[in-house]
Amino acid sequence: MAAKILVVDDSGTDRKIIKSMLEEYEVLLACDGVEALCTIDANPDIDLMILDLNMPNMNGFQVLEMLKSNKRDRRLCTMILTNYDEMENEIKGLQLGAVDYIRKPINMESLRARINIHIELLKVQNVLEQKLNEQKLTFDMIFDQAPIGIAISQSCDTENPEGTITRINSMYEKITGRTLEELAKLGWEKITHPDDLEEDLKYFRKLQSGEIKSYSLEKRYIKPDGSFVWVYMVVAALTSNRCNYICLIQDISERKKIESNLKYINEHDKWTGLYNRDYLGKMLQRDLEQMQMLKAALISVNLSTVQLLTVNYGFNYTRNLIKKAAVALSRYCNEKIMLFNTSENHFVFYLLDYEDKKALKEFSQVIADTLESLLVTERIGGGIGVLEIGNDSSLNVDLLLRRLLIASERAINVFEKDFSVCFYDKEIEALVDREGEIRQELSRIAFDDNCGELFLQYQPILDLKTDSVCGFEALARLKTEKLGLVSPVEFIPIAEKTKLIIPIGKQIILSAFRFINKLKEHGYGDIDVSVNISAIQLFAPDFTKELLEMIRTMGVNPQNLVIEITESVFSSDYDYINNIIGKLRADGICIAIDDFGTGFSSLARERELNVNCLKIDKYFIDKLMIVGPSKAITGDIISMAHKRGHFAIAEGVETQEQKQYLLNNGCDKIQGYLVAKPLYEEEAIAMLGK
Ligand code: C2E
Ligand code: CA
Ligand code: CA
């Protein structure tokens, strides 16, 4: 389309000449300023105006002033064509917005060339403008339809350094729940959660100073109803003068909810709702790092015996008990006392700023009383371990929890009361360490028959009637490279506690059987060998069956075997044990009650025991020398044994006087250092030869 040109001149001749010269354009004519303005109003698409200055009614300057004050379309470009020659007129015209100043008389070629240039320039401007419009349209569309919230703010005002939000899209409005007006009035800091503001401002200042180009963070906006929404936010400077900023936000509430759920699950026990072990670990770690525990303690409540009920009543039953305990224990929490459920049946109190050891003792006792009264009908107990943390830089979480466990386990083991309290100290730890080492060695040895580290020594038993050795007691020995020689007094209880006594006991029985066979080979087929059997072994379901099996496969004569059991085994299930003993005796095996007289109710029940022999404990033999033979009851025990049809062996006989007393009182056999200490196999056989 041809450009539209308006020619304004009071000279009709000039108008005509110009119009005829510009045939390729659409040319409109006006004879003065008033007519020119009317034509411009009626034809907003006029591209160029050729304006005379000196005209009646309204001159060219007035036209330019009017157009300028009306802020009319900037696209209309004006060329002044005048017979005013003065420079100041030219300057004034250009200042009023004219793009060119041409002096009359008209030089046709020059005028045409200039018009062409301005028209071309206009064309280029038009194209550029159109492109810009298209871009703006695209930008607006993206801005409004974006699935993320976008806000643009301006902040060149020193009064208001955080700036004013000038534009937001609908998603920003939706996420924040705020209109542009509200946002412009409040500013973004007022709607930022106070806990998140400091960080946000810190970054924003850096952005403003040019230190960074953009930043992102997760923060909360406060909505008009007071609730808040979590967003992921990116803020960047839009212009190099750092006055305009763009802020993009994405609603991450759902993710945050999942995260906080996960956090809760990670930090709490599902069943009791108390903080869990991981969380305790984290807390201790933090406090250790910050050395905040100058006066902190841990109290562990170990309800391990609760597990026994699970077998009878099922998981739900015990779980409910644990929950009941959790509720009861929670009552003692306050800002300085926290409670954790560190494993199914372990609770831990974490106490800060406690007064002194006495206060810890009292607190533990209150806990013990509470649990005792809560669990009295279940007849379950437990242990309470106390650990004063102190201020030791070598401490770590693992060590603390281990020490705490040591104390609470000790509390269970050592005392008989339902819930007793044990404070951690170094000696206990050393004991537990040693126990651990022994346990390790035992578990290695238990399933390795040929290691030679577990072996037997044999202590002779002397028949007082014939004054000759009639048997041996097999006594277990443990000697390893790591531990050296370990007394059975130390390792047997550990083997019992860990049930390792079952495989180890089998090895012992087999060794003893080999010894019996060896004796036979050497012509001592009538010598007995006594083997000590623990209650755990005796209660193992297949004990009798397996023992008889071993007797058969090894070709041992059951008549040569004596089984020593302590009378305490009868306290658990009297009938069951008596029944087992009956079976063994029926097979020809001899049964001896070991350490007789030390257990409870022994004398009262002795009559009913289905045994052959009583081994009178060393205590009563030692007593002989202390109270004097006339006052000792040892003789009474011997005669009582005889009345029940049992024979009697005196243990731990060390002196001739003791032997004499025992002879005088009709004791059948004696065993002790007077006869011999426990001997190696070869020594034992050699002794028989003498
Ligand atoms: P025990 O069955 O009462 O064994 C007698 C203990 O008294 C042995 O200690 C023996 O060496 C010691 N003894 C013997 N005569 C005298 C004496 O005149 N004076 C003194 N002071 N002591 C004497 P040992 O060998 O240390 O065994 C200790 C305990 O370990 C045994 O007591 C027994 O309860 C247990 N034990 C040993 N071997 C085995 C085993 O193979 N199986 C089981 N279950 N327990 C065993
Ligand atoms: Ca014994
Ligand atoms: Ca004994």
Task: Output the six-digit token pair for 213.
Answer: 């180009």
Instruction: Return the amino acid letter for 398.
Output: D
Nearest CA to ligand 1 atom 13: 652
**604 pLDDT tier (thresholds 50, 70, 90):** low
652 close to ligand 1 (CB < 6 Angstrom): yes
- Which ligand gives the minimal distance to the CA of 455? 1
50 and 79 Cβ atoms separated by less than 8 Å: yes
pLDDT of residue 600: 57
pLDDT of residue 254: 93
CA of 476 to the centre of ligand 1 (A): 8
Poorest-pLDDT segment among 119-133, 172-186, 600-614: 600-614
563 close to ligand 1 (CB < 6 Angstrom): no
**674 pLDDT tier (thresholds 50, 70, 90):** very high
In degrees, rounded to 5, the angle at the alpha carbon of residue 579 between the alpha carbons of residues 573 and 580 is: 95
Element of type H or E holding 456: strand 454-463
What's the whole-number mean pLDDT along residues 615-626?
92
Residues in the chain: 690
Nearest CA to ligand 1 atom 37: 475
Nearest CA to ligand 1 atom 29: 489
CA of 493 to the centre of ligand 2 (A): 14
pLDDT of residue 119: 87
β-bridge partners, 422 = 385
Ligand 1 atom showing the smallest separation from residue 475 Cα: 38
CA distance 246 to 216: 12
Mutate to test the pocket of ligand 1, among 515, 532, 534 (most ligand atoms within 8 A of CB): 532
Nearest CA to ligand 1 atom 22: 652
Q: Which DSSP state fits 213?
A: S
pLDDT of 191 above 80: yes
pLDDT of 192 above 80: yes
Q: What is the pLDDT of residues 73-108, one digit of tens each?
A: 556 889 999 988 888 999 999 888 888 999 988 888
pLDDT of 415 above 70: no
Q: What share of the chain is helix, strand, coil (3-state, %, to 5)?
A: 50, 25, 30
Nearest-10 Cα torsion for 203, 207, 211, 216:
50
Q: For residue 681, how many other CB atoms are within 10 A of its CB? A: 17
What's the whole-number mean pLDDT along residues 158-186?
88
CA distance 19 to 134: 36
| pLDDT, mean over the chain | 90
CA of 154 to the centre of ligand 3 (A): 95
pLDDT of residue 159: 67
228 and 216 Cβ atoms separated by less than 8 Å: no
Residue 5: strand, helix, or coil: strand
49 close to ligand 1 (CB < 6 Angstrom): no
Residue 538: strand, helix, or coil: helix
Query: Which DSSP string corresponds to 31-89?
Result: SSHHHHHHHHHH-TT--EEEE-SS-SSS-HHHHHHHHHHHT--TT-EEEEEES---HHH
Element of type H or E holding 329: helix 315-330
Nearest CA to ligand 1 atom 46: 532
Ligand 1 atom showing the smallest separation from residue 492 Cα: 45
Task: Output the six-digit token pair for 404.
Answer: 């705490």
**Given phi > 0 = left and psi -120 to 50 = alpha, else beta, which region is 28?**
beta
pLDDT of residue 568: 77
**Residue 507 CA neighbour count, 13 Å, CB half:** 24
**305 pLDDT tier (thresholds 50, 70, 90):** confident
What's the whole-number mean pLDDT along residues 368-390?
87
Element of type H or E holding 350: strand 346-352
Poorest-pLDDT segment among 128-142, 284-298, 527-541, 632-646: 284-298
Element of type H or E holding 341: strand 337-343
534 close to ligand 1 (CB < 6 Angstrom): yes
Closest CA to 231 of 168, 153, 172: 172
Q: What is the pLDDT of residues 34-54, one digit of tens each?
A: 999 999 999 988 989 999 999
Within 8 A by CB and 6+ apart from 105, the residues are: 83
User: What is the pTM (predicted TM-score) of this model?
Assistant: 0.59
476 close to ligand 1 (CB < 6 Angstrom): yes
595 close to ligand 1 (CB < 6 Angstrom): yes
Ligand 1 atom showing the smallest separation from residue 488 Cα: 30
CA distance 273 to 257: 18
Element of type H or E holding 277: helix 277-289
**1 pLDDT tier (thresholds 50, 70, 90):** confident
What's the whole-number mean pLDDT along residues 458-463?
98
Q: What is the pLDDT of residues 509-531, one digit of tens each?
A: 999 999 999 999 999 999 999 99
673 close to ligand 1 (CB < 6 Angstrom): yes
Poorest-pLDDT segment among 161-175, 238-252, 356-370: 238-252
508 close to ligand 1 (CB < 6 Angstrom): yes
What's the burial of 393, exposed, middle or buried (CB within 10 Å: 0-12/13-18/19+)?
A: exposed
Q: Distances from the Cα of 179 to the Cαs of 189, 221, 248, 352, 377, in angstroms?
A: 15, 14, 16, 49, 65
CA of 457 to the centre of ligand 2 (A): 12
